[in-house]
Amino acid sequence: MPESPVAPAEIRLLDSGYSREARLLLYHAYRHEPTFGYLFEADRSGYDQRVRAMVRELVRQHFYQELPALGLLVDDRLIGIALIAPPLRRLGITESWAWRMRMVLSTGFRCTRRYLDYQAALMACLPGQAVHVLPLLGIHPQFQGHHYGEQLLGALHDWCADDEHSEGIVLDTGNEHYLAFYQRQGYQEIGEIAVGPIREHVFFHPNPQRLRQVQA
The pLDDT tens digits for 2-34 are: 455 478 899 999 999 999 999 999 999 999 999
In 3D space, the residue among 118, 163, 149 whose CA is nearest the CA of residue 2 turns out to be 149
Q: Do 40 and 107 form a contact (C-beta atoms < 8 A)?
A: yes
Residue 51's pLDDT is: 98
Distance of CA 169 to the CA centre of its chain: 11
Tens-digit pLDDT profile for residues 157-178: 999 999 888 899 999 999 999 9
How confident is residue 184, by pLDDT bands cut at 50, 70 and 90?
Answer: very high
Residue boundaries of the structural domains of the chain: 10-215
Q: Tell me the pLDDT tens digit for each residue of 134-153.
A: 999 999 999 999 999 999 99
Task: Tell me the whole-structure pTM to 2 decimals.
Answer: 0.91
**Separation of alpha carbons 140 and 29, rounded Å:** 6
Q: How many helices (H) and strands (E) does the chain have?
A: 9, 8
pLDDT at position 131 over 80? yes
Instruction: Identify the pLDDT of residue 7.
Output: 81
Instruction: Please tell me the distance from the alpha carbon of residue 8 to that of residue 200, in angstroms, as a whole number.
Output: 32
Enter the DSSP assignment of 87: T
For residue 101, report the phi and psi dihedrals to the nearest 5 degrees: -65, -45
Is the CB of residue 94 less than 8 Å from the CB of residue 167? no
In this predicted structure, the answer to whether residue 95 has a pLDDT above a threshold of 80 is: no
pLDDT above 70 for 214? no
Crossing angle, helix 109-124 and helix 97-107, to 10 degrees?
130
CATH fold of 10-215 reads Aminopeptidase (3.40.630)
